[in-house]
Amino acid sequence: MDPSAERRYVITLSCPDTTGIVARISGFLADAGGWIVEAAYHSDHSPSDPTTGWFFTRQVVRADSLPFDADELRDRFSAVAAEIGPEARWTVTDTGVPKRAVLLVSKEPHCLHDLLGRVSAGELPVQLDAVIGNHEVLGDIVRAHGVPFHHVPFPADGKPAAFAELRKLVEEHEPDAIVLARFMQILPAELCEAWAGKALNIHHSFLPSFVGARPYHQAHARGVKLIGATCHYVTADLDAGPIVEQDVIRVDHGDTAADMVRRGRDIERLVLSRGLRWHLEDRVLVHGNKTVVFR
């Protein structure tokens, strides 16, 4: 059996920084017989301003090393988290339970093609439940992969009803990730709040530069030498949510705006797939408008 396929329990925790947190968690797992296969830590504690310090950790334990299941692990770890402090935020997930995702699309196919291919090849740890588009043009691509496709039109005078239908279709799947794979509609504030920490967007720009529409054309007009893409969580502040992943590619004075768009699509594919993977593997911890990503 491939060791990478063995069942794991993933524990994440963030809390105000103090002494003894690592010892408390590792002691708890050791006492239970837990075999830790990954352990990552980060503290943004600043000696000059200790009131802002925060601690983050991600622990991965072999499931077969514990004498109880994930539900009991959650029950027992809740007591540990309570001892650490009332502000502690934590999760316990089981890699034996597939994460679920819904994709939102418009007309651009490149990110959709990439994600469908990675899911089909088993490269992403996710069960893709549905793709929802505000246009019908990508439906055949989706259905060819055996994934349900739903068309929800967004007429200019009927967007509230369209968003209500979109929300209904998404939430009936109870997804762990809602991926805006070049979905060219701005989510209303109530959806941003309902899907906080689950809705991921790919923005075709290296944020915070060139927000909004046509960023490659903005970049071309500015004469930049690097263009990029950003995967971020969706918030009510347009293109300003916590950043999960970014990457860039070099361009030069000979590149047209169309060249930048073409090259940018390659970066968008990579950045979105990486960001989605980090999210699905519980590697992203959000604190305010920043993230800690344990890669």
**Catalytic annotation, residues:** 239
CA angle centred on 220, ends 216 and 225, rounded to 5° = 100
- 101-to-4, 129, 238, 245, 276 alpha-carbon distances in Å: 22, 6, 22, 18, 10
Helix boundaries (H) for 6-60: 21-31
- The one-letter code for the residue type at 100 is R
- Listing DSSP states for 135-177 in one string gives SSTTHHHHHHTT--EEE----TT-HHHHHHHHHHHHHTT--SE
User: Which two structure tokens, joined as six digits, stand for 265?
Assistant: 């699509």
Burial of 144 (0-12, 13-18, 19+ CB in 10 A): exposed
Integer Cα distance of 227 and 246 in angstroms: 11
| Secondary structure E strands in 165-218 | 177-180, 199-203
Coil, strand, or helix at residue 246?
Answer: strand
CA angle centred on 101, ends 160 and 63, rounded to 5° = 145
Name the nearest CA neighbour of 11 among 93, 116, 95. Answer: 93
